[in-house]
Chain A
Amino acid sequence: MTVPPRTVRGRQLRAIARREASRSLAGRRLLPLGILAILPVVLAVLRAVFLPESRAADVSGGVAEFSQVFWVFILRIVVFFSAAHAFVKTFRSEITDETLHWSLMAPLRRRELVIGKFTGAWIATSLVLAASTAATWALYLVPHSSHLGDFLARAGVVHLVRYLVVVVVACAAYGAIFLLMGLYFRSPMIPAVVLLGWEALTPFLPAALKSLTVVNHLAALLPVPVQLGSFAVASTAPPAWLAVGALVACVVVFLAFAVRRSRRLEVSYSAE
């Protein structure tokens, strides 16, 4: 019985994604991702241990604190560098391990190869970082547990879901960018630092340039508005639908470039 081509392509895509996800979650590749993911949890545990009893009733203070930690640390550092590590490695690790030829000898279009690898790394980073974010959020609220009833009834779960959505969308957007970087640069550290600098400048950029940063669109999805500081250039945040649309477009554009680049991939390990 002949299997329809679409079924074959679906199986191939799933096989690549499954392989990439399991590689991202195993062995040496998991270590940096795991360390980054555990950092905010450790921070939250320390806060829970050392928070003065007098602040236990200040639930809104805890919520605001978490929003700042999420913005400054989780999103800008943990998610950014986790995505950098996981997505750059999708192709780069196969080049350095000299195993790329096994992927290139599979009878599948480079489009499926790129999308499969992206999906696998996206699933892996999203799972780890969403778990880390959820744990950190919960630990930030633990010291206020006796006063949480109203917050949880009013907005608690919605807050958590929106933070998780931001993490998942951020993994996709940064992931697409880093996957492309991994295809172009032997050492993507410099372009990654440039991107980090560009993202860090977001609050101080005029509105037109803000729209060219990932983090500006992510900010529009946060449940608690971000405090950008007194030197930030004021601008109106884009509506959530537009922010999501822009980030999806970013993913599509960067993946399209990655597919194009992947068609020129060669096995020439000695040149690396």
Chain B
Amino acid sequence: MTTDRIVFREVSKFYGEVLGVNRVNLEIAPGLTGLVGPNGSGKSTLMHLMTGLLHPSRGRVEVLGVPTDRPEELFRLVGYCTQYDTFPPGATGRSFLREALSLHGVGRDEADARALESLRTVGLADAAGRRIAGYSKGMRQRAKLAHAMLHDPRVLVLDEPLNGLDPVGRSEVMDVVARLAAEGRHVVVSSHILHEVDAVSDSVVMIHGGAIVAEGEIRAVRGELTRHPIQVLVRCDDPRRVAALLFGLPHVVEVRVLDTDDGLLVRTRDATSLFRTLTGLLVDAGVEVETVAPADESVHAVYDYLIGGTGGAA
């Protein structure tokens, strides 16, 4: 099996009669992968399967060639920030991380120094000696992130890592996540704040009802959806004239001039042909163009289409 991928082969997970995920086939490459789906869609189940906290009812999961039923190897590679907001009773920030390092086989003195360093990295150095039970939600989230990154893992799995963080914290976390992904690590992130993941994701996995509904690079995923029209925003100085020209093209479904009268939205079944013909059309008409861009390539819009919604402009 591929040793630089996270691989799911025909993976199903049932909780008794209830379906968790169903026949998942997935390969996750290095870089930042956004995991998108509504509550109860199976995101956390997929992440638990990836980290061996759940065992597949059927199929097989391997992380960089390591089966997930070998925690002694798996958790040298993987750091996991779960959604659970619970900590060992009585733990302080420092003792929590020191204990985690000692379970990695790190000696006491080194573990203590590294724990403090990690807390400094996530901005919790001043609260190192305080009990985690007394931390704010955002501080607990930072402690979990510090735990996940403590052993410098090659694979980082973050389940809703931005929960409880203020805007500055969110931005800091996403910067760290993007940097780690740029270093060639696997970073898998799920989040409710999709545009933040969208902005830095290399690829996206969309899950709904326990099944993967789409995966790949966001633009490519959108391109695969030929049965759904794509929406393109054209900002120009004469939108009504452009609209009249575009109506004549066979693959254009709808053209709508913006209320601000400084552009138009074009819905087409063949984005490639539209982009190809649009340039020549606009030059010939002598229209001054400011922007031509896909208007709904955000994960939100793609996801809406995929699960049967109406889609929408960004």
Interface residues of A (CB under 8 A from B): 3, 7-9, 11-12, 15-16, 19, 23, 26-27, 97-99, 101-102, 104-110, 263-264, 266-269, 271
> Measured between alpha carbons, how far is A269 from B15 in the docked complex, in Å?
12
19 interchain pairs, CB-CB under 8 A: A7-B105, A8-B104, A11-B106, A12-B104, A97-B86, A97-B88, A98-B84, A102-B100, A104-B71, A105-B51, A105-B53, A105-B71, A105-B75, A106-B71, A106-B100, A106-B104, A107-B75, A109-B71, A267-B54
If A15-B103, A271-B15 touch, whether A102 touches B88 (CB-CB below 8 Å) is yes
Give 3 nearest A-B pairs by CB, closest first. Answer: A8-B105, A107-B75, A106-B103
Q: Which residue of A lies closest to B104 (CB)?
A: A107
Q: Number of B residues contacting the other chain (C-beta, 8 Å)?
A: 31
CB distance from A21 to the nearest CB of B (A): 13
A268-B54 in contact given A98-B84, A110-B71 (Cβ < 8 Å): yes
In the bound assembly, the distance between CA atoms of A263 and B68 in angstroms comes to 11
Cβ of B99 within 8 Å of any chain A Cβ, yes or no, is: yes
User: In the bound complex, do residue B71 and residue A101 qualify as a contact, i.e. CB atoms below 8 Å apart?
Assistant: no
Mark each residue of chain B from 126 to 167: 1 if its CB lies under 8 Å from any CB of chain A, else 0.
000000000000000000000000010000000000000000
A12 pairs with B88, CB closer than 8 A: no
B32–chain A nearest beta-carbon distance, Å = 21
What CA separation (Å) do A98 and B72 show in the bound complex? 22
Query: A105-B75, A107-B76 known; A27 and B89 CB under 8 Å?
Result: yes
* Residue among B55, B80, B104 having the largest count of chain A Cβ atoms under 10 Å: B104
- Nearest B residue to A7 via CB reads B105
10 further A-B contacts with Cβ under 8 Å, apart from A11-B106, A11-B107, are A8-B105, A99-B88, A101-B53, A101-B84, A105-B75, A105-B80, A107-B76, A107-B104, A266-B48, A267-B48
**B107: which A residues are within 8 A, CB to CB?**
11
Establish whether residues B54 and A11, one from each chain, have CB atoms under 8 Å apart when the complex forms.
no
Q: Give bound CA distance, A26 to B89, whole Å.
A: 10
CB-CB nearest in chain B for A23: B89
B73 within 8 Å of A by Cβ? Answer: yes
Chain A residue numbers with a CB within 8 Å of B89 are 23, 27, 97, 99
The closest CB in chain B to the CB of A10 belongs to B105
Would A15 and B102 be within 8 Å (CB), given that A107-B76, A109-B71 are in contact? yes
Residue contact B99 to A19, C-beta cutoff 8 Å: yes
Does B305 sit within 8 A of A, measured CB to CB? no
A263 touches B103 (CB 8 A): no
Is B25 an interface residue when CB atoms closer than 8 A count as contact?
Answer: no
A99 and B87: CB pair below 8 A? Answer: yes
